[in-house]
Chains A and B, each alone.
Chain A
Amino acid sequence: MNAAQPQGRRPRRLTPGRIGVYVFLISAALFFLLPLWIMVVTSLKPMEEIRLGNILALPQMLTFEAWSKAWSSACTGLECHGISVGFWNSVRILIPSVIFSIIAGAINGYALSFWRVKGANILFGVLLLGAFIPYQVFLYPLVRIFSMTGIYNSLTCIVLVHVIFGLPTMTLLFRNYYAGLPIELFKAARIDGGGFWSIFFQVILPMSTPILVVATILQVTGIWNDFIFGLTFAGRENLPMTVQLNNIVHSTQGERAYNVDMAATMLAALVPLVIYFVSGRWFVRGIAAGAVKG
């Protein structure tokens, strides 16, 4: 009698609803993973195997030849030094751009959220509007300005462009983070006699680690993935990896070496992917901080 009574933990059953949830999620996951899978397996096959079709299959003859070719000898237009040239160009562009844009954003954010400077709200409003305006609106006059000052098509030029167009997001990011800090901290520091810079360096900056991490993730991925600025401002000598990749894919004479294309694509995607997988939640936080909390 007693055994028939519900007792203890309720038995869990796999309901059709639960199965539906997993079916949906797994099919969605397959859709998202498919291109990555295809890129990887294609890059590891010799061309003979690729010509047979069966794009999904694992390589029967595993080879890393395409990777080494993509890295060091694939042709980007007339030159054939592989995508490594673009990789190092991207690194040289990335480092100063990230550092300077974060410094600029941190100082702006600090000045905007703690010091009520006249006209700062207007400045911030215009800056934000600027973030949404298509780059095509600024490009031509900027090219003219840089040509006139003689830095067009140089590393300085592309770094400057990244800093300029990173200003809205970085400023917004830091302003919002600093606005979330207790204003009392700032007041206490004022009473303790801190000035603009001493409060920034001794009180605010030491508290900024999380937002600095978020900003770094955001800028590294953003600048690494940039195409249009690199194409327009970097100059032939400094073309970043994305532009080189596009050149490899679109300028091959004769039969396209899909395995080399895919190996080059993987190489170009490597840095942001590593950052994404290593940073995990921070990446999401970065997007959320840049967007949601605004």
Chain B
Amino acid sequence: MATIPIRVPNLAASRTTARSRIRKRLPAAFALLPTALVVLVVYIGCMLWTVRLSFTSSTLLPKLDWVGLAQYSRLFANDRFLTSVENIAIFGVLFISGCLILGFLLAVFIDQNVRGEGVFRTVFLYPYAMSFVVTGVAWQWFLNPGLGLQKLVRDLGFPNFTFDWIVNQDMAIYTIVIAGLWHGAGLTMAILLAGLRGVDEDLWKAAKVDGIPTWRVYVSIVLPLLRPMVITATVLLTTGVVKLYDLVVAMTLGGPGIATEVPAKFVMDHLFERNNIALGTATATIMLIAVVSVLAPWVYARYVRPQGRHA
């Protein structure tokens, strides 16, 4: 048989190749189908439904009327909501920066070739294994002014010592921050420590030969190298901030008064207890907008743009 000079036109070839490609990948597509359905129905469907409900006057039961932005204007006149927003802002800034600073310090100090490194690491991270409810209950008990820390210090001979933040309208939110820090700083430490361990040994040798002080190396050379880990930790902590709910419920139930209300709790209360679906979904929508506007560019840059590899 000589070389067969038949040439199939390229157009036909590519059309049928596409068909064979689909046949070959059918089981893979089939396996992804349930997830695709969930994404469509739950992640997209429910989200749109919530957004739609926020434009209605639904109270106990959902209605599909249209009241425009009425719920949103009610929301921004609502003290409880405004307090929630203020609280989440305070918590967010202090919790994230606190976790990053404390986590970085812990990681750097652990990285000093210390004895019992494993013990320290275990101790710093274990709170992260526990639930927010447990964290909240534990800290509520510890900060309880009657029998907790305040009483302890007073009994030690400082009768005027006062630490009643948890029952103080102005300070209660900061106790939530402390409990949050206790829970989350170890996570930041673990992520940053992994980053520190990934720094090229030769860099340290070079810095040593050049006589650069250790702290200077950390600040000027290592910290910039840890940028991806810092970003990851920040993203993780941010999602924690937005989801903040259990901790508040367990620790203060939003009180004293409305001093520690947060948006997630506002939504839950209005959806399931106060029978105000429209107001609840409007708040949820605002949370959604806030998160998406912060995270969409990050997710896009990190996961979608670098295409899957070419098999």
Task: Report which A residues bind B (CB closer than 8 A).
Answer: 18, 21-22, 24-25, 28-29, 31-36, 38-39, 42, 50-51, 53-56, 104, 107-108, 110-118, 120-142, 144-145, 164, 167, 171, 179, 183, 186-187, 195-197, 221, 224-228, 232, 242-243, 245-246, 249-250, 258, 261-262, 265, 268-269, 272-273, 275-277, 280, 283-284, 287-288, 291-292, 294
Best-surrounded residue of A55, A118, A127 (most CB of chain B within 10 A): A55
Given contacts A140-B271, A272-B130, contact A261 B50 (CB under 8 A): no
Nearest A residue to B187, CB-CB: A287
Bound complex: CA A172 to CA B156 (Å): 52
Q: Say whether B268 faces chain A, with CB atoms less than 8 Å apart.
A: yes
Verify B142–A35 contact, CB threshold 8 A: yes
Complex Cα distance, B126 from A33, in Å, reads 9
Q: Which of B38, B105, B123, B267 contacts A33 (CB 8 A)?
A: B123
Pick the 8 closest A-B CB pairs, nearest first.
Answer: A225-B131, A115-B28, A196-B27, A276-B129, A141-B46, A141-B49, A136-B267, A227-B246
Q: A139-B267, A258-B147 given. 18 additional CB < 8 A pairs?
A: A24-B105, A33-B123, A55-B151, A111-B29, A134-B291, A136-B267, A136-B268, A137-B47, A140-B271, A141-B49, A142-B42, A195-B27, A224-B131, A227-B132, A227-B245, A245-B133, A246-B133, A294-B232
Write the residues of chain B forming the contact surface with A, with a CB cutoff of 8 angstroms: 25, 27-29, 31-32, 34-36, 38-39, 41-47, 49-50, 53, 62, 102, 105-106, 109-110, 112, 114, 119-135, 137-142, 147-149, 151-152, 155, 182, 186-187, 190-191, 194-195, 228-229, 232-233, 235-236, 239, 242-243, 245-246, 249-250, 253, 263-264, 267-268, 271-272, 277, 280-281, 283-285, 287-288, 291-292, 295-296, 299-300, 302-304, 307-309, 311
CB closest chain-A residue, reference B117: A25
A108→B39 contact, CB < 8 A: no
User: B295 and A268: CB pair below 8 A?
Assistant: no
Instruction: Say yes or no: A111 contacts B187, CB within 8 Å.
Output: no
Residues of A within 8 A of B147 (CB): 50-51, 53, 55, 258
